Structure 1
Amino acid sequence: MKYDVVVFDVDGTLINTEETILLSLQHMLLRMTGHLYPFEKLYFALGITGAEALRRLELPEPDKAMEMWLAYMGRYEYLQKPFDGIDEIVQWLNAAGVRLGIVTSRTKPEFQKSTAQYNFIKYFDTVINADDTVKHKPEPEPMLCLLEKMAAEPSKVLYIGDSVYDMECARKAGVDGALALWGAHFPEQIHAVHKIANIMDIKSLFI
């Protein structure tokens, strides 16, 4: 078996949170700026920390914007759900003896509030949140932190994510990246060692 450890991103990979994130961001921006941003202008925010997304938007009151964004995110949280097949593939990998980890741009409170509730999370050995490191994706620090905690060799680790930030984080840490096409935008523009069309296709990397 080439990979001993499989690491997943959360948003857009394990859980379909796109509507929750983009609707809440769009709603906040409408309130803050009076301008209705189309989703296409907000895709950049998928896969990075909320603080970094707001920094790039250059809003004059980032603390107020973050507070409002999180409030709206709670309002739209009912729209999110795990992608079909995630529970099955996580249990399959666990039964195959593969250790599982998570590297996410969510903070610990965000992860606990909206992600830890799902039953399949219990199969993950290690979770690296945004507040576990100083630098965030696409920098390698989150993955390097996970490698240290799991005592894992980079060549034996696969990182499955949906964004260019995930693939760059993996590459810089010496880890193979697999692009989750079920959650990716503009996948033809993203370099990855593997590109996986369907969740259950993950099995093909281990059979």
Structure 2
Amino acid sequence: MVKAIIFDVDGTILDTEQAILQSLQRTLLEETDQQYSLEDLRFALGIPGKDTLMRLNIDNIDEVHRKWSAAVLDFSHEVTVFENLEEVIQQLAAKSPLLGIVTSKTAEEVTDEFDPFGLSHYFKHIVSASDTEKHKPHPEPLLKCLDALQVAPEDAIYIGDSIYDFQCAKQAGAKFALALWGAKTTNGFEEADYVLYEAQDILSL
């Protein structure tokens, strides 16, 4: 029996791809004088910002991360809730499964970039990158959320769009549902428990 449905945010609830990549591209150009293509930066989708900057060998990570977080807000007009997801979340919240969020956003980024959409109150518990020492694909964030909800991993489904989400769910012992509207491909997700083609598919879980 499914007792909890946990959501990722970026690429799952919010279509943030362009805002994340364009703001990162601009910040790196300002800080390093290097012009990265958006394709070069796609690896940043689904992992914490500081992990991204570490992989890019940025020296002053904390400072650059602050500038990137500020730059994301300049692209907020690019961010939308995926089609029909708000209505689906409302319907789920009215049913019995507990709803949670496990995101690679920091607590500040959740406040600045997610809360304005007015969806946060539907979720009983939110785990951000500020809440754990280890981050996706490590299972710690998902296990922390499930512990707060008092739900066993085998009774939960984690919905995400990245390989990091998939690995996090599998290592935690939870089921994984691929949000195809964000992932855009099933390659690498052959072992996903569910493939969701549109938001309404969540209701069939």
Query: Under a length normalisation based on structure 1, what TM-score does the superposition of the two structures give?
Result: 0.94
**Structure 2 CA distance, aligned partners of 1:188 and 1:143?**
23
Moved over 3 A (4+): none
The 5 A counterparts of 1:10-159 are: 10-159=9-158
The one-letter code matched in structure 1 to 2:108 is P
Distance 1:78 1:134 in 2: 32
Secondary structure of residue in 2 paired with 1:30: helix
Gaps of 5+ in 2: none
- Distance of 2:198 and 2:7 partners within structure 1: 15
**Cα deviation, residue 199, structure 1:** 0.9
Secondary structure of 1:182 counterpart: helix
What is the distance in 2 between the residues matched to 1:185 and 1:30?
28
Distance in 2 (CA, whole Å) between partners of 1:88 and 1:188 is 28
Residue 192 of structure 1 is matched in structure 2 by 192
Aligned AA (1:7) = I
SS at match of 2:136: coil
Q: Which residue does the alignment assign to 2:201?
A: 201
Residues 36-84 of structure 1: CA distance to partner in whole angstroms, max 9, x if unpaired? 2122111111111001000001123323321321221121122111111
- Percent identity, aligned pairs only, is 40
Q: 2 CA distance for matches of 1:87 and 1:35?
A: 38
How many aligned positions are there?
204
Unaligned runs of 5+ in 1: none
Cα deviation per residue 1:11-42 (whole Å; 9 max; x = unaligned)? 00011111110000011111223222122111
TM-score in terms of structure 2 length: 0.95
Deviations 1:141-171 (A, max 9, x none): 0011011111101111000001000111110
3-state SS of 1:188 partner = coil
Q: Which residue of 2 aligns with 1:182?
A: 181
SS at structure 1 position matched to 2:134? coil
Secondary structure of 2:164's match? helix
| Equivalent residues of 2:69, 2:109 under 8 A apart | no
Q: Say whether the 8 Å CA contact 1:161–1:180 is kept in structure 2.
A: yes
Q: Secondary structure at the match of 2:181?
A: coil
Q: Which residue identity is paired with 2:179?
A: A
Displacement, 1:116? 1.3
- 8 A Cα contact 1:163 1:185, kept in partner: no
- The Cα RMSD (Å) is 1.3
In 1, Cα distance between the equivalents of 2:192 and 2:144? 21
